[in-house]
Amino acid sequence: MTTAVAKPASAQTPSDHRTPTPEVPVAARPFAIVRHSLTLTWRNLIKLKHQPEQLIDLTLQPILFIVMFVYLFGGAIEGSTDDYLQFVLPGILVQTVVFASLGTGVALCEDISKGVFDRFRSLPISRFAPLAGAALGDVCRYVVSIAIVFGFGSAIGFRVQTDVFSVLAAIGLVLVFAFAMSWIFVVLGVTMKNPRSVQGTAMLIGFPLTFGANIFARTETMPGWLQAWVDVNPVSHLTSAVRTLLVDGGSAGGDAAATLLWAAGIFAVFAPFAVNRYANKT
């Protein structure tokens, strides 16, 4: 009769004994989240330094739009290219930065497809930090595009009609809204597998938001059905606020408040969704 003898713990095979793999914490202390996010923001700024060609579209696109719309359409729309420049340049400033936010999702998708974010997932950091680092790093691109618009616009005759505090408020509004918008494209970046798909889908979102706004023409000149969309478009509120702060003067409180509410709502919806998609991505 054969008696089964239990193996002692020391004699167990490697397949019988597995060391549990520590899980990366999904949440961390607020200070740690901020520190990790800023560290990965610096990584993106270093990458931008070594790949300055990423700034080509931000330098050439606003110049092309200013020249094309001011000198091709300015006389027909406003009666004078000089008057139209004063009207349209704040809008082109908004459009340029909104378009710049589209690149966040494309660059993120490229990094994920190359396996860079697999390394981040193995680190004991918050899942929010890599995505926030990508979004914050692109704020530098937004600043470059703003400088190009102001510089070229001033060279051909644009003049700010208000004070320096109004200019800073306008720039701050644009940066806050663009940062919030970038989280929509972060969701695309962590969801889609192909950067080209991200770019195509982002354009489908960006074009109605920018061209279906009061950037290039006054709302009252549009047909009623289009006015209904323009009036609720958050880009229209941002453009009106920036135009008031730079050119028209007066109070931009209503449009500025609407812009900040839209920015807060977009961030509150899409940032957690992006983190969830990234955390569950295989």
What confidence category does residue 135 fall into, taking pLDDT thresholds of 50, 70 and 90? confident
Q: How many CB atoms lie within 10 A of CB 69?
A: 20
Q: Across residues 146-153, what is the average pLDDT?
A: 92
pLDDT score, position 113 = 75
Predicted confidence (pLDDT) per residue in 60-71, tens digit: 888 998 998 899
Rounded mean pLDDT, 228-247: 94
Percentage of the chain beyond pLDDT 70 is 80
Query: In the prediction, which pLDDT does 112 show?
Result: 76
Give the pLDDT mean for 23-48.
64
Q: What percent of the chain has pLDDT over 90?
A: 32
Q: Which residues contact 184 (CB under 8 A, 6 or more apart)?
A: 105, 205, 266, 270
pTM of the model: 0.80
Burial class (CB in 10 A: 0-12, 13-18, 19+), 276: middle
Q: Is the pLDDT of residue 22 over 50?
A: no
Collect all residues with Cβ–Cβ distance below 8 Å to 6 and sequence separation of at least 6.
Answer: none
Q: Decide if 235 contacts 213 (C-beta within 8 A).
A: yes
Q: Which residues of 16-39 are buried (b: 16+ CB within 10 A; e: fewer)?
A: eeeeeeeeeeeebeeeebeebbee
Mean pLDDT, the chain, integer: 81
- What's residue 274's pLDDT? 87
